[in-house]
Structure 1
Amino acid sequence: MTTSFRLLTYTRDTQPHDTQPVGAVFMNGQVYDLADALPRAPTVLDVLNDWENTQKELAALAKDATRLAKFTGRSLGTVTYLPPVLYPNGIYCSGANYTDHLAEMCKAFNAPPEPDPHDIGMPPWLFIRTARNTMVGHQAQVSIPAYTKKMDWELEVAVVIGRECKEVTETDAMDYVAGYTIINDLSARDFMKRPKATPGSALEYDWISQKNFDGSCPTGPWIVPRDDIANPMDLDLKLWVNDTLMQDSSTSKMIFNYAELVSFLSQRFTLYPGDIVATGTPAGVGMPRGIFLQRGDKVRIAVENIGELTTTLI
């Protein structure tokens, strides 16, 4: 496993009137602006749009102390994080994609256990998030919407697309992935279903109210290159609300793996560099226990080999 570099976007705390997003790369313990380190690709999306070449150039730069010394580096503590890529064409989120989470939700709804969808020929189940209004960065504050009393957390690993991707096979799908990041798939559980809709009808589910409110998709802290993670299907996953451990699982419990999700989506439409595919959440969400987020709560997610993503509810 290498630890070559991490891609992030930030604003500078040391310049309070400078709110422009800055594409950056974290390497050798310092943050370097992409405009300095890789002038032809000054934003993270620029890097992803030429991922085949830029990943090699950045990996080489991380090993070249003489070149790095020419650039101004800064510590992570001096930056305000934004979502790593601003703003993707699409955020595609997988639901019911962990065996332990599926079991806990079936129990919460008094439903019979679900079979493995592979056994019955059922494809992945996904929904779409908007990007500009839902995405916030690491350490962001998120306002709980006035309309919900049941705000829930969902730890998720996400892949970031690095090549235009259309009708790819599962065998080839990971070749189109640039790297990994973390999202907190915040959910308004009291708006999963429209209260007066006929149960089981196509009009029953309310994806806008439940999943697409402002700040509902904290993302970050950065993008870890795909090749830096040797076994992405065996990552330790943990989420705390304040000091209480709520989710404690592993990506080994994923039902449809990264390649299956990317391939499936690519059969429906084109995926573009920067697009995010979130892979679902494991057991430990609040709804089955009747525990929901309150103002002042801090949610901390730790994903092995990727990093930590924190969010404060206000």
Structure 2
Amino acid sequence: MKPAAFSGPFALGTFSAPGEAPFPGLVVPDGHVLDLRTALGEPALTARAVFERWAELLPRLHELAADAQADRQPLDALHVHAPVEPRQVFQSGANYRQHVIDLELAHRSPDDPRTVEEARAETAEIMDRRAAEDLPYVFIGLPSAITGPYDDVVLPSWAEQPDWELELAAVISRPAYRVSVEEALEYVAGYTIANDLTDRATVFRRDMKAIGTDWLRSKNAPGFTPLGPWIVPAASIADPGDLRVTLRLNGETMQDESTKDMLFGVARIVSYASQTARLLPGDLVLTGSPAGNGMHWGRLLRDGDVMDGSITGLGAQRTRCTAEVSR
């Protein structure tokens, strides 16, 4: 039996036994899972429903985690699904200073008159100005892009430059609308890992440059957001602004950066998104990806690649890339 790696006494996820329907589960560090439908006497319970009643259920979850007599199943015998099915996915772009500088250099036009040093300095100045002006950049993703933390990722035949972007994701615990930065973390139930895959070739609309980015095309293919393996309660994470985000490709470290490099922390992003939209229980707020993506390395995803992603205290995911079979 493998232990489950995460901070704190328990985490939450969605699991299934062979041939059976998925269920919301409480996983403890020794690698066992408790079916919350049975433990709470609610056969129709889902993971999202747990977050809809987060304040009510949290004390009971602590009790169940501490109950050594609870009827648990070995994690090794279960399939691990994405831990929650959100109604909305909010994604923060250009939120890591070094990542944006690297991307700007990777996307430079061949006829750009600036030297590399000039382009780097100019982009650094832009990022510093954005931080000073306190203006995050948030867009919307599709829940249908989410897949499990150990599922294969199909690379669409049209994706010319598929890339990885490992990110810290916050999970919302109660409706949040126009909340302040100071109170925003009160609306966060916990944290998980998201890999926000992106086809770099379709990020920008070549036919209509004035429109800008095309996030639908570049980020929302089925399976382009591996999520999990589980959600760790916020109280078990001392500081979401000081976590290590690491992605290895076929065993080689590509991303290895602290969330300290974020321009805007979790509280600011949650608050900012809530000024326009009503965030709902179980919704995801992705906080952006640090430096070290494929465009930086000149090495993009291809058939057979294996990505191992981890974030301090949240566990690890492993996904294998497969090329789409031509129809």
What TM-score, normalized to structure 1?
A: 0.92
Equivalent residue number for residue 56 of structure 1: 59
1:195 offset after TM fit, Å? Answer: 2.4
1:307 offset after TM fit, Å? Answer: 0.7
Q: Does 1:292 align with 2:300?
A: yes
Equivalent residue number for residue 252 of structure 2: 244
Specify the SS of the correspondent of 1:140.
Answer: coil
Specify the SS of the correspondent of 1:293.
Answer: coil
The farther-off stretch of 119-128 and 276-285 is: 119-128
Among residues 211, 218, 227, which one is paired with 2:235 in the alignment?
227
1:288 offset after TM fit, Å? Answer: 2.5
Task: For residues 136-169 of structure 1, give each alpha carbon's deviation from its aligned partner in whole angstroms, at most 9, with x where no partner exists.
Answer: 0111011100101211000100000001111110
Describe the shift of the 1:302–1:134 C-alpha distance in structure 2 as closer, same or farther (beyond 3 A): same
1:39 offset after TM fit, Å? Answer: 2.4
Checking the alignment, whether the CA contact within 8 Å between 1:117 and 1:123 is kept in structure 2 is no
1:90 offset after TM fit, Å? Answer: 0.5
For structure 1, list consecutive stretches of 5 or more residues without a partner in the other structure. none
Among residues 105, 113, 130, which one is paired with 2:103 in the alignment?
105
Describe the shift of the 1:119–1:93 C-alpha distance in structure 2 as closer, same or farther (beyond 3 A): closer
1:308 offset after TM fit, Å? Answer: 0.2
For structure 2, list consecutive stretches of 5 or more residues without a partner in the other structure. 1-5, 109-118, 323-327
- Letter aligned with residue 53 of structure 2: D
- Letter aligned with residue 80 of structure 1: H
1:2 offset after TM fit, Å? Answer: 6.5
Among residues 203, 214, 221, which one is paired with 1:192 in the alignment?
203
Among residues 132, 135, 138, which one is paired with 1:126 in the alignment?
138
The whole-number CA distance in structure 1 between the counterparts of 2:27 and 2:263 is 32
Checking the alignment, whether the CA contact within 8 Å between 1:92 and 1:278 is kept in structure 2 is yes
The farther-off stretch of 117-126 and 55-64 is: 117-126
- Percent of residue pairs bearing the same amino acid type: 36
Checking the alignment, whether the CA contact within 8 Å between 1:174 and 1:259 is kept in structure 2 is yes
Describe the shift of the 1:192–1:2 C-alpha distance in structure 2 as closer, same or farther (beyond 3 A): closer
Equivalent residue number for residue 176 of structure 1: 187
Specify the SS of the correspondent of 1:180.
Answer: strand
Equivalent residue number for residue 115 of structure 1: 127
1:99 offset after TM fit, Å? Answer: 1.4
- Letter aligned with residue 59 of structure 1: H
Q: Does 1:96 align with 2:97?
A: no
1:11 offset after TM fit, Å? Answer: 1.9
The whole-number CA distance in structure 1 between the counterparts of 2:311 and 2:218 is 25
Equivalent residue number for residue 73 of structure 2: 74
The whole-number CA distance in structure 1 between the counterparts of 2:46 and 2:304 is 33
The whole-number CA distance in structure 2 between the counterparts of 1:295 and 1:276 is 28
The whole-number CA distance in structure 2 between the counterparts of 1:167 and 1:308 is 33
1:121 offset after TM fit, Å? Answer: 2.0
What TM-score, normalized to structure 2?
A: 0.88
- Letter aligned with residue 156 of structure 1: E
